[in-house]
Amino acid sequence: MAFLIKSMIGNPLSGMGLGGGGDKEEEATPSDPAKAAGMTREEYEEYQKQLVEEKMARDADFLHKKAERATLRVCLREKYRLPKSEQDENMIEIAGDDVDVPEELLKMVDEDATEEEGKDSIMGQIQNLQNMDMDQLKEKASATVTELKSKAEEKCSVM
């Protein structure tokens, strides 16, 4: 808003010619960005090339990390039989076929798999039974039997 008013009215002193400082400010800012940065033209061009190369390297690393994560998600979807995601498959295709899941993540997935296998096995079920409170199981079973008997007596006139 202030810019609009200033541009409409203008600087009253600049029109009078009493030392108009606005012209000097415009001349002081060089049009060449290399001079503005305090470098020679060749140094500035080299600096710009370096910036572009660093950005490309960062982008490539970022893309590779995203593809690794997508690969891990695909592995987990296969393991738990979840529906596939086209977005993950596209990310892997973009990054190329050289994408592998990082070793740390593979170790974590393998540890989870061995824990689940242990729980699913017969020995795992037996160990779970040992950890249960038998008195509580007996009370629950007797309560269930009593409840079934009472419901049966309500429904059946012979009992």
| 157: helix, strand or coil | coil
Average pLDDT of the chain to the nearest whole number: 76
Instruction: Tell me the pLDDT tens digit for each residue of 46-89.
Output: 999 999 999 999 999 998 888 888 888 888 888 788 898 899 88
Contact 13, 20 (CB under 8 A): yes
Report CA-CA distances (Å) from 108 to 64, 71, 92, 102, 104.
Answer: 20, 14, 21, 10, 6
pLDDT reading at 155 higher than 70: yes
Task: Give the separation between CA 121 and CA 11, rounded to whole angstroms.
Answer: 86
Domain coordinates in residue numbering, the chain: 37-128
pLDDT reading at 110 higher than 90: no
Does the predicted model carry a pTM greater than 0.85? no
Closest CA relative to residue 63, chosen from 91, 88, 105: 91
